[in-house]
């Protein structure tokens, strides 16, 4: 059994387009962290038939509201990784209508893990409003103290591989997991001890 987490900061989970079912690792991870006395927030997205970029970004900011700057961790899965990229890009671009940038008002996480991001040029049913996907290297670096990418070497939603599609371009550390697919319960990622281990440590490296 994985050791009890020693890190005590809050954890934010951004599930993919269909949310996290009770079989997926996000649900399992949230339960284990709460058992350890950790604060856990899970973002809730608008219904797929009415979702748009503005609504999802607003839901993300609502989930982050009130958290301490540089005092929490965030794990995003699937298309929610692309949403985080939009959030990061918006944090660097002023919103003329608001007189300031809405994203900049959101607190900044200490660490971010982007798990199984789908390739920017492939469709994501219900979330195609995320296209085109911004890949702002500097903005993503400023959006958190550290960001790591995690993906399977056989993810059907990122067939060229997370390292090639995202890691090289964004100049970020990548952990590639053999046979992990899109890192869902269907490929064995219901309980995911490595994610719990990452949440319990202070350093950024993700050990598969």
pLDDT in tens, 2-43: 555 689 999 999 998 755 567 889 999 999 999 999 999 999
In which band, very low, low, confident or very high, does the pLDDT at 126 lie, cut at 50, 70 and 90? Answer: confident
> How far apart are the C-alpha atoms of 56 and 53, rounded to whole Å?
5
Query: 3-class SS at 25?
Result: helix
Answer with the residue of higher pLDDT: 61 or 20. Answer: 61
CB atoms within 10 A of CB 199: 23
**Quick check: is 3 in a domain?**
no
Residue 192 has pLDDT above 50, yes or no: yes
Give me the domain span that covers residue 30. Answer: 11-200
The pTM for the full model equals 0.91
CA dihedral 172, 178, 117, 207 (to 10 degrees): -50
Report the number of distinct structural domains present in the chain: 1
Instruction: Give the pair of three-digit tokens for residue 103.
Output: 């994203």
131-188 pLDDT tens trace: 999 998 999 999 999 999 999 999 999 999 999 999 999 999 999 999 999 999 999 9
Owner of token pair 């409003």:
129
DSSP structural state of residue 99: T
Cis, bond preceding 132 (omega within 30 deg of 0) = yes
Distance, CA of 172 to CA of 166 (rounded, Å)? 8
Say if residues 85 and 136 touch (Cβ distance below 8 Å). Answer: yes
Tokens at 191, concatenated: 């309980």
CATH number at residue 77: 3.40.50.1820
Residue 208: inside a domain: no
In a domain, 6, yes or no: no
Question: Using an 8 Å Cβ cutoff, are 42 and 30 in contact?
Answer: yes
Q: Which residue has the tokens 């809050």?
A: 10
Has residue 166 been placed in a domain?
A: yes
Tell me the CA end-to-end span of the chain in Å, nearest whole number.
Answer: 15
Residue 96 located in a structural domain = yes
Would you say residue 5 lies in a domain? no
Burial of 134 per CB tally in 10 Å (0-12, 13-18, 19+)? middle
State the residue for tokens 């709460």. 34
Residue 2 maps to a domain: no
């Amino acid at each position: 059994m994985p050791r009890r987490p020693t890190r005590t900061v809050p954890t934010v989970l951004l599930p993919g387009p269909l949310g996290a079912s009770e079989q997926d690792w996000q649900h399992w991870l949230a339960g284990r962290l709460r058992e350890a006395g950790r604060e856990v927030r899970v973002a809730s997205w608008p219904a797929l038939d009415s979702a748009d970029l503005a609504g999802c970004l607003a839901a993300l900011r609502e989930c982050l509201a009130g958290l301490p700057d540089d005092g929490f961790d965030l794990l995003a899965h699937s298309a929610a990784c692309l949403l985080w990229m939009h959030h990061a890009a918006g944090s660097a671009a002023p919103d003329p209508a608001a007189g300031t940038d809405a994203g900049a008002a959101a607190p900044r996480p200490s660490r971010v893990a982007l798990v199984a991001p789908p390739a920017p040029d492939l469709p994501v049913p219900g979330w195609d409003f995320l296209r085109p996907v911004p890949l702002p290297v500097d903005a993503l670096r400023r959006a958190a103290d550290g960001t790591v990418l995690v993906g399977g070497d056989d993810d059907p939603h990122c067939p060229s591989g997370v390292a090639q599609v995202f890691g090289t371009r964004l100049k970020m550390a990548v952990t590639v997991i053999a046979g992990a697919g899109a890192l869902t319960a269907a490929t064995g990622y219901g309980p995911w001890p490595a994610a719990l281990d990452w949440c319990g440590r202070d350093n950024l490296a993700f050990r598969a």
